[in-house]
Structure formats: C-alpha cells, structure tokens
A and B are shown apart, each in its own frame.
Chain A
Amino acid sequence: MQQFDLEAQGLRALNSTLHEQAGSSNQTQWEVVNPRGSHAIAVGLDAPIEVNVKGSTGYYCAGMNQQATVHVHGSAGPGVAENMMSGTVIVEGDASQYAGATGHGGTLVIKGNASSRCGISMKGIDIIVHGNIGHMSAFMAQSGNLVVCGDAGDALGDSLYEARLFVRGSVKSLGADCIEKEIRPEHLELLAELLERGGCDAKPEEFKRYGSARKLYNFNIDNAY
C-alpha cells in the first residue's frame, strides 16, 4: 500500500501521482493521511485504484471520478463525487451540499446524512444514503437512482426528469412535478441490488418510490421546436 501525507506533500503532488496510475498499475492501494478538510482531494482519477482518505475532506472530493474507488473515512465537504462518471465513492460520515451533483455513472454511498441538493441534476449515478437528505435534493435529476434510508427534506425531486427516487422515511415536501409512484416488482429487484451495493440492511418493501409526473413544459410535445 502507498501512503501519501497530504499536509507534507501537497495537493498537486497527490492528484498528479494518482493521475499517473493507469489501468496496468500495480500500485492499486493508496492511503491519504492528514486531509484536514482540504479541497479537491483525489479529483479526476481514471484508473481502477482504491484511495482511502483518513479524515474529513473539503470541497469536491473525488470529483469527475472514473473507475477508482475513493473511500472517505470522515465527512465530506460540498460537491463530493461531483460529475462522477464511474467507480465508487464511499463517505463514512456526513456529506455537505450537492453530493453527487450531475453524476453520470458510478456509485456514491453516504453512510451518514447528506445535506441540501443531494443528487442535483444527476444523470445516471446511483446514490445510496444511509441517513437523511436535505432540501431540494434530486432537483432536475435526469436519470439514475437515489436511495434514502432516512428522511428527505423540502422540495424533493423538483422539476424531475427520469431519475428514480426511493425514500424509506418521511418526505417533508415534494417539489414541482414530483409524485409518489407505485413500486412494481422490477423496482423491488433494483432496490435490493442498490441496497446491497450500498451496504444497507434496509428492506426494499419499506421504501416508497417517487418520480416525475411528466407535466412540466419539457414533457409537452406541443412545446417542442
């Protein structure tokens, strides 16, 4: 295992070293110590490596991730796994606002709570939150799955497109054009797989599904150019 002391060696050295790891690298295990809330840790990775960050991170940890597994052993600041393409990001603590924003693929697991705007404009990422999520989560979410084992805040799924939202607890309020939908067998199957991937012991039957009512401007063919 390779160890990297962020305080001693600096952020640019960390990220350029991690960027040098190609698919054939045999240095697949990395540990980052002394993160101390720094920004942009392990951003832009594109190799099947595992990076364990031993502490809490600041803005944009694991942004634009491809292939890699980034495991934050603490809490994450705003924009964790923003625009992730593939791979896995796991946060042991809480995540601040807009976790997984605009993510195209991969899996984001948050073992604590996520703050406001979790999964905003998500485009294919799967986000599994063990705790609660804040207001305006999944705003304009386009595709992918958001699973919340706790409660959701105000305006869940406002202006939603085709993303699927599963919430086990209460939803403070639904955003414009977001409605509760029936859970069919294929959703239970999907949810079981997502919960297993996220390491949750919740049962699929305990969740409600929310999705787009498809009534807003974009869904009306008469509004097409």
Chain B
Amino acid sequence: MCGIVGLFLKDQSLAPQLGAMLTDMLITMTDRGPDSAGIAIYGGSEAGRAKLTVQSHTPDADFETLAADLSEALQDQVSLQQIDTHAVLDLASEKLADARRHLAAHHDSVRVMSEGESLEIYKEVGLPKDVAARFDLGSMSGSHGIGHTRMATESAVTTMGAHPFNTGLDQCLVHNGSLSNHNSLRRKLRREGVHIQTENDTEVGAAYLTWKMREGASLGEALESSLDDLDGFFTFVVGTKDGFGVVRDPIACKPAVMAETDQYVAFGSEYRALVNLPGIEDARVWEPEPATVYFWSHNDASTSQDKAA
C-alpha cells in the first residue's frame, strides 16, 4: 500500500500551519503505511545559501563537531541545527558540492537526506505519529510540502528506504506502488555513474529522474519519459522548489485524490487524508487522470500534460 499526502499553499497566510496540516494528513494515512514515514518541506530560502539535511544513527556523537569540521574544511561558515536524528546544515550555495564530498570522505555515518535552497527532508522508521513527534513536524512552516507513510514491499524497512527521496537540488519524490524493473534499471543507472545507495525500488525511480534531468530533461519531461521506462505500479508525487507535481501510471491502480480551493491544492491517497483541511466541504475534489503529468507552481500557471497510455 503506502500513503501519500501533499499540500501546496496558494494563500501564504496559511504558511505557519503547513506543518500542522501536513502532519494531520500524514497520521490519517497510518494504516496505509505504518513502517516508516517522512516529510519534505519547503520552508523558504535565502539568496546564496543552501541547506543540507543530514541524518545519523549516532546523532549526538556525529553532529557535535560536524559544523566546526565542515567550516574548517570548506574555509567558510557552516551552521548546524540538530532535530533528533537529523540536522540541517546551512552553508553557502557554492560550497554544497565540496561539503558533500567532504561528508562522503570523512563522515561515513552521516547520510545526506536532501540538498537544496528551500527543501528539508525528515524521515525515520516508525509510526507516522511517532516520526512526526520526533521531528516536531507540526511546528514547521513553509509554502508547500509532501509526506509519505510506507508499507514496505520491495525492500527492507530502514531510514534510507523511507520516503521522500531527494532527486536533485530542491527536488524530491514519494511513491505509492512497486516498480518491477528496478534491478535492471539500477544496473543501467549505476553504469551511467548515478549513485544509488539501497536495494529500494523507489530510490531507483528517484535516481532515474535525477539522471534524466542531468541529461538535460526538465522535470516534466523526466516524468513523462518515466511512463515509458518504468515498469510497475506507481503514483508519484514530486516536490520542486516552486510547487509539486503528480503522475500516475497508465493502469492507475494506486489511489489518488486531489482537492483545490482558493487557498490550497492538496493531494491524498484517500479522501480521508483531506477531511480536516479548511473549506474542504466546498473544495473541487477529483481524481488525477492516469498517464497525465500535473504541476502546480507558485511561479507559473498550473498545467496538466496528457501522455497517451
């Protein structure tokens, strides 16, 4: 199964409540996915600064000296804010690649959850309500965010197998379904030099999008080609710096409900996830069509692109 929720605010006066609304939606989806939970939240950016969200199983030991160590290695100011097993590193955008190289070389036990100017990803094993409490997700604010509750089918229940997956700067992916060609695609992507850490099928989906975009595709084009290249069942929700997108495979077994009002666009695996949103009684509620890529953006007009099944 698995549950997906997403919330894109049109009315920024709701921004302080984004975390609370998404958390409520996420917990409602517990019986679709009690194994692990995660949330990607777009909390805003500062020009020239980037955020690296990292995770460790021994956070107190790892994070104590991490900011100082990185500041020295990069010869630049790096600050760190620890939230349970995660920490958000704030650093200059142009130091991002160096910081990742340094972490990979010198900090084995620190794993990168996300990188971007606005995006932060928090995910752990456990019931959604417990994961939400660990990170105090309910207190977070932002312009949009997506969340996922996992019922594992294709690979182990681990932090790295939890969703969302970071696919590129300020981009992330959550998935309900199962990909059946992920082994062959993983081998292909590794040959192309794409770094894939786990045996998880969704990570391959995320890596596929990363690779397509590295080859020059836009996110929309990458999602469209995923309809041809990914075999299996999927409802994907992708987060971008400006908004979110939705695409379902042509068979569309995996459920999806959208709701739109003047204040927000919301996504839920089930209508249940949406019932506490303000004004839901009068919202336009519909199911996204199969094999169609939808986008909502704070910057551009919203689009839907039909791709023949």
Contact = CB atoms under 8 A, between A and B. Distances in A.
Interface stretch (B43-51, B101-109, B268-276): B268-276
B275 to A, nearest CB: 4
B271 A115 contact: no
Nearest to A95: B287
A37 B275 contact: yes
Interface string B98-140: 0000000000000000000000000000000000000000000
Contacts of A36: 272, 275
Interface in B263-297: 270-275, 285-287, 290
A78 B271 contact: no
B74 interface: no
B271 A58 contact: yes
Contacts of B255: 77-78, 96-97
A175 to B, nearest CB: 13
Contact of A115 (B251, B287, B309): B287
Contact of B252 (A38, A93, A94, A97): A97
A96 B309 contact: no
A134 B271 CA distance: 19
Contacts of A77: 255, 270-271
B249 to A, nearest CB: 12
A75 interface: yes
Interface residues of B, number: 17
B286 A94 contact: yes
B270 A135 contact: no
A142 interface: no
A2 B64 CA distance: 62
Contacts of B251: 136
A38 B286 contact: no
Contact of A75 (B253, B275, B285): B285
Interface string A83-109: 000000000011011000000000000
B272 A58 contact: yes
A13 B253 CA distance: 31
Given A37-B271, A58-B271, A77-B271, A154 B309 contact: yes
B285 to A, nearest CB: 6
A134 B273 CA distance: 23
Given A78-B255, A96-B255, A154-B309, A38 B287 contact: no
23 contacts: A36-B272, A37-B271, A37-B274, A37-B275, A56-B271, A58-B271, A59-B270, A77-B255, A77-B270, A77-B271, A78-B255, A94-B285, A94-B287, A96-B255, A96-B257, A96-B287, A97-B252, A97-B253, A115-B287, A116-B252, A135-B250, A135-B252, A136-B251
Given A59-B270, A94-B286, 14 more contacts: A37-B271, A37-B272, A38-B272, A56-B271, A56-B285, A58-B271, A58-B272, A75-B285, A77-B255, A94-B285, A96-B257, A116-B252, A135-B252, A136-B251
Interface of B: 250-253, 255, 257, 270-275, 285-287, 290, 309
